[in-house]
Amino acid sequence: MALFSSKSILGIDLGTSGIKIVELSRIGGGRFDLKNYGVLDFIPKDKSVPKLDDQILISGLKDLLNKGKFLTKDTTASISSFLTFTTIIEMPYLSEKDLGKAIPFEARKYIPIPLQEVVLDWSIINVKQAGDHTNVEVFLAAVPKDQTERYKNIFISAGLNLKALELENIALSRALRGDNISPLAIVNLGGRSTSITVFDDQFERISRNYEVGGFEVAKALSETLGVSFEEAEKIKKTEGLKSGSSGFAIISPLIDLIILEAKKVVSNYEENKKVRINKIILAGGQANMPGLRNYFAEKMGKETLLGDPFKNVSYNKVLEPVLTTLKSSLSVAVGLAMRKI
């Protein structure tokens, strides 16, 4: 008799620079078993951001699923952070029913598009006593309906059983934070953009997207050094921000822009909430760039770590070398596969 379900689920991170799939099964005690994984990168042929229409994504998913021979089609997928609107609002405490009625009216002040055009979700993240009054902090999230329908169509067309769509940052937090409730920031360096998110007491408090990512770094290397985009990608991955590397003077100003934004987000939260953020976690496909972690730590003046989404995941140790290089880019997919459905 099985004490824990061995049924696995796919976590699929559908990005602008690639598709990442992780298949996990839950083995109990907050631990998981890695069944399979797959990565498909979309490499630009020129110096423009790749335009991925839905058919390319569907075809890519099908190809990756067929080659990977995954055990299940049950899927949790992420909605990119730059497609979502999130905020935290404070309201007087009401019953669950009355709060549900009041929140859509309050949300109109914060959501920049008509509410009838979004899927709105919310959750209470804190209860505050103020004298005789009780207030609640509510996390609001809104996703345009046309985007949720688009995602559903992509996964259904690829032959998958979509169980849930989840905000990218929630999956990222689940994979990297663990039980840590102290304030920290996660900097997710993707191909198209970078998200900077502060988490406190296990909840997202503030998040900002910055339109500089790995693509801009490779483009700058290609144009300045006069090499192909493919060669620029190799330089980025092998030399990166190593002291004395050929690309240091080209890459560092772009990373400085990201660090400047991270400093703003972190310091604003520290000043407003009177707390100290001591830890930065780097994630995303660009986080493994040589020299990046040390450079980030020096500039931020804070402990900076590479996120490890596999710390609670069992896997064959033969995979250690490849997972060491991939774990940062698989963080969202791992967090999605950890979700209870």
Looking at the structure, do residues 194 and 245 belong to the same domain, yes or no?
yes
Residue 336 belongs to a domain: no
DSSP string, 76-134: EEEEPGGG-EEEEEEEE---HHHHHHHHHHHHTTT-SS-GGGEEEEEEEEEEEEETTEE
- Residue span of the structural domain in which 193 resides: 179-311
Task: State the pTM of this model.
Answer: 0.90
Q: Could you tell me the CATH number of the domain that includes residue 130?
A: 3.30.1490.300
Strand (E) or helix (H) holding 214: helix 214-225
User: Could you report the per-residue pLDDT of 39-85, keeping only the tens digit for each?
Assistant: 998 876 665 666 678 999 999 999 999 999 999 999 999 998 778 88
pLDDT of residue 18: 87
pLDDT of residue 2: 35
Looking at the structure, do residues 126 and 229 belong to the same domain, yes or no?
no
Looking at the structure, do residues 199 and 296 belong to the same domain, yes or no?
yes
Q: Could you tell me the CATH number of the domain that includes residue 230?
A: 3.30.420.40
Give the end-to-end CA distance of the chain in Å, rounded to a whole number. Answer: 22
Residue 140 belongs to a domain: yes
Residue 174 belongs to a domain: no
Select from 31, 40, 130, 103 the least CA-distant residue to 334: 31
Q: Which of 126-135, 200-209, 210-219 has the lowest mean pLDDT?
A: 126-135
Residue 50 belongs to a domain: no
Distance CA 253, CA 265 (A): 19
User: Could you report the per-residue pLDDT of 83-120, keeping only the tens digit for each?
Assistant: 888 889 888 887 888 888 899 888 888 888 899 999 99
Looking at the structure, do residues 113 and 230 belong to the same domain, yes or no?
no
